[in-house]
Amino acid sequence: MNQEVQTFMLKDDGLLPNNPTLPVIVYKGVFKNHPADIETTFNRHNWTGSWTGGVYEYHHYHTNTHEVLGVKAGNATVLIGGGKGKHFELHKGDVIVLPAGTGHKKLESSADFEVVGAYPDGRSPNMYKSDPEERVKALAEIRNVPVPDFDPVYGEDGPLLGKWRK
Protein backbone atom coordinates (compact mmCIF):
# COMPACT_ATOMS: atom_id res chain seq x y z
CA MET A 1 0.00 0.00 0.00
CA ASN A 2 1.11 3.54 -0.75
CA GLN A 3 2.17 5.38 2.42
CA GLU A 4 1.47 9.01 1.37
CA VAL A 5 -0.47 10.51 4.26
CA GLN A 6 -1.63 14.13 4.51
CA THR A 7 -3.20 15.80 7.54
CA PHE A 8 -4.77 19.18 8.09
CA MET A 9 -6.66 20.96 10.83
CA LEU A 10 -9.82 22.94 10.17
CA LYS A 11 -11.10 25.90 12.13
CA ASP A 12 -14.65 26.41 13.28
CA ASP A 13 -16.16 28.54 10.50
CA GLY A 14 -19.06 29.89 12.56
CA LEU A 15 -21.60 27.53 10.98
CA LEU A 16 -19.74 24.22 10.95
CA PRO A 17 -17.79 23.37 14.10
CA ASN A 18 -15.28 20.99 12.49
CA ASN A 19 -13.17 19.15 15.04
CA PRO A 20 -11.24 21.37 17.47
CA THR A 21 -8.51 18.79 18.27
CA LEU A 22 -8.30 16.08 15.59
CA PRO A 23 -6.96 16.58 12.05
CA VAL A 24 -8.51 15.30 8.84
CA ILE A 25 -6.33 12.48 7.47
CA VAL A 26 -5.94 11.68 3.77
CA TYR A 27 -4.30 8.55 2.39
CA LYS A 28 -3.54 9.39 -1.26
CA GLY A 29 -3.80 6.45 -3.64
CA VAL A 30 -3.62 3.83 -0.91
CA PHE A 31 -6.11 1.58 -2.76
CA LYS A 32 -5.37 2.81 -6.30
CA ASN A 33 -4.54 -0.68 -7.57
CA HIS A 34 -7.07 -2.51 -5.39
CA PRO A 35 -10.22 -0.39 -4.90
CA ALA A 36 -12.30 -3.54 -4.40
CA ASP A 37 -10.41 -4.09 -1.11
CA ILE A 38 -11.60 -0.85 0.52
CA GLU A 39 -14.70 -2.14 2.31
CA THR A 40 -13.09 -5.39 3.44
CA THR A 41 -10.11 -3.49 4.85
CA PHE A 42 -12.28 -0.98 6.72
CA ASN A 43 -14.41 -3.77 8.17
CA ARG A 44 -11.37 -5.84 9.20
CA HIS A 45 -10.17 -2.83 11.23
CA ASN A 46 -13.55 -2.41 12.96
CA TRP A 47 -14.74 0.49 10.81
CA THR A 48 -18.09 -1.07 9.98
CA GLY A 49 -21.67 -0.08 9.22
CA SER A 50 -20.29 0.36 5.72
CA TRP A 51 -22.22 1.62 2.73
CA THR A 52 -21.48 2.45 -0.91
CA GLY A 53 -22.72 5.55 -2.69
CA GLY A 54 -21.87 9.22 -3.10
CA VAL A 55 -21.29 12.30 -0.96
CA TYR A 56 -24.14 14.75 -0.33
CA GLU A 57 -24.04 18.02 -2.25
CA TYR A 58 -24.70 20.11 0.87
CA HIS A 59 -22.61 20.80 3.96
CA HIS A 60 -23.24 18.28 6.68
CA TYR A 61 -21.40 16.68 9.57
CA HIS A 62 -21.76 14.02 12.22
CA THR A 63 -21.33 14.80 15.92
CA ASN A 64 -21.51 11.26 17.28
CA THR A 65 -18.91 9.46 15.15
CA HIS A 66 -15.90 9.79 12.92
CA GLU A 67 -16.30 8.77 9.25
CA VAL A 68 -14.00 7.24 6.67
CA LEU A 69 -14.60 7.54 2.93
CA GLY A 70 -12.70 5.44 0.41
CA VAL A 71 -13.01 6.28 -3.28
CA LYS A 72 -13.96 3.07 -5.07
CA ALA A 73 -14.39 4.63 -8.54
CA GLY A 74 -14.10 7.96 -10.32
CA ASN A 75 -13.09 11.27 -8.83
CA ALA A 76 -14.65 14.28 -7.14
CA THR A 77 -13.96 17.69 -5.74
CA VAL A 78 -15.17 17.95 -2.16
CA LEU A 79 -15.25 20.91 0.19
CA ILE A 80 -14.05 19.92 3.64
CA GLY A 81 -14.62 22.25 6.61
CA GLY A 82 -17.30 24.64 5.36
CA GLY A 83 -17.21 27.73 3.16
CA LYS A 84 -13.73 28.71 4.33
CA GLY A 85 -12.48 25.12 4.29
CA LYS A 86 -10.35 23.21 1.81
CA HIS A 87 -11.25 22.12 -1.71
CA PHE A 88 -9.92 18.64 -2.09
CA GLU A 89 -9.56 16.42 -5.15
CA LEU A 90 -10.33 12.78 -4.42
CA HIS A 91 -9.43 10.05 -6.90
CA LYS A 92 -9.95 6.31 -7.13
CA GLY A 93 -8.01 4.67 -4.33
CA ASP A 94 -7.88 7.72 -2.02
CA VAL A 95 -9.17 7.51 1.55
CA ILE A 96 -10.19 10.46 3.73
CA VAL A 97 -10.90 10.21 7.45
CA LEU A 98 -13.20 12.90 8.82
CA PRO A 99 -13.12 13.39 12.59
CA ALA A 100 -16.49 13.99 14.24
CA GLY A 101 -17.80 17.48 13.51
CA THR A 102 -15.99 17.90 10.18
CA GLY A 103 -18.21 19.53 7.56
CA HIS A 104 -18.11 18.04 4.09
CA LYS A 105 -19.93 18.21 0.78
CA LYS A 106 -19.40 17.22 -2.83
CA LEU A 107 -18.90 20.09 -5.28
CA GLU A 108 -18.57 18.05 -8.47
CA SER A 109 -17.71 14.55 -9.57
CA SER A 110 -17.26 12.19 -12.49
CA ALA A 111 -20.34 10.19 -13.45
CA ASP A 112 -18.82 7.01 -12.03
CA PHE A 113 -17.81 8.52 -8.64
CA GLU A 114 -18.46 6.06 -5.83
CA VAL A 115 -17.23 5.89 -2.24
CA VAL A 116 -17.32 3.32 0.52
CA GLY A 117 -18.12 4.90 3.88
CA ALA A 118 -17.78 3.38 7.34
CA TYR A 119 -17.65 4.28 11.04
CA PRO A 120 -15.57 3.04 13.99
CA ASP A 121 -17.36 0.27 15.85
CA GLY A 122 -20.20 0.50 13.30
CA ARG A 123 -21.63 3.60 14.96
CA SER A 124 -24.76 4.95 13.39
CA PRO A 125 -24.11 8.56 12.29
CA ASN A 126 -26.43 11.43 13.07
CA MET A 127 -26.81 14.30 10.60
CA TYR A 128 -26.27 17.97 11.27
CA LYS A 129 -26.39 20.81 8.77
CA SER A 130 -25.24 24.43 9.08
CA ASP A 131 -27.57 25.42 11.90
CA PRO A 132 -26.31 27.97 14.47
CA GLU A 133 -29.10 26.93 16.85
CA GLU A 134 -27.56 23.46 17.26
CA ARG A 135 -23.93 24.54 17.75
CA VAL A 136 -23.68 24.25 21.54
CA LYS A 137 -25.19 20.77 21.53
CA ALA A 138 -23.03 19.76 18.56
CA LEU A 139 -19.79 20.92 20.19
CA ALA A 140 -20.56 18.99 23.39
CA GLU A 141 -21.28 15.81 21.42
CA ILE A 142 -18.11 16.12 19.30
CA ARG A 143 -15.93 16.29 22.43
CA ASN A 144 -17.36 12.98 23.65
CA VAL A 145 -16.55 10.88 20.57
CA PRO A 146 -13.71 8.51 21.47
CA VAL A 147 -10.62 7.99 19.35
CA PRO A 148 -11.04 4.64 17.57
CA ASP A 149 -8.95 1.61 18.49
CA PHE A 150 -7.82 1.02 14.89
CA ASP A 151 -6.76 2.99 11.84
CA PRO A 152 -9.30 2.15 9.07
CA VAL A 153 -6.55 1.39 6.54
CA TYR A 154 -3.61 0.06 8.57
CA GLY A 155 -5.22 -1.30 11.74
CA GLU A 156 -3.21 -1.30 14.98
CA ASP A 157 -0.14 0.39 13.49
CA GLY A 158 -1.75 3.10 11.39
CA PRO A 159 -0.84 6.76 11.24
CA LEU A 160 -4.30 7.80 12.48
CA LEU A 161 -3.54 6.47 15.95
CA GLY A 162 -0.34 8.50 16.27
CA LYS A 163 -1.96 11.67 14.97
CA TRP A 164 -5.14 11.35 17.04
CA ARG A 165 -3.67 10.09 20.34
CA LYS A 166 -1.06 12.72 21.03
d(CA 108, CA 105): 9
Domain spanning 5-153: which superfamily? Jelly Rolls (2.60.120.10)
The domain spans of the chain are 5-153
Q: What is the CA radius of gyration of the chain?
A: 14
Q: Residue 132 is which amino acid?
A: P
Q: What is the pLDDT of residue 3?
A: 60
Residues with Cβ within 8 Å of residue 17, at least 6 apart in sequence: 61, 101, 103, 135, 138, 139, 142
β-pairing verdict for 104-109 and 75-80: antiparallel
> What is the per-residue DSSP string for 62-117?
-SS--EEEEEEESEEEEEESSTTSEEEEEETT-EEEE-TT--EEEEEE-TT-EEEE
Residues with Cβ within 8 Å of residue 9, at least 6 apart in sequence: 23, 24
Instruction: Tell me the pLDDT of the chain (166 aa) as tens digits.
Output: 546 899 999 998 888 899 999 999 999 999 999 999 999 999 999 999 999 999 999 999 999 999 999 999 999 999 999 988 999 999 999 999 999 999 999 999 999 999 999 999 999 999 998 877 888 889 999 999 999 999 999 999 899 999 998 6
Angle CA 35–62–90, to nearest 5: 30
pTM of the complete model: 0.95
For 116, counting Cβ atoms within 10 Å of its Cβ (0-12 exposed, 13-18 middle, 19+ buried), the class is buried
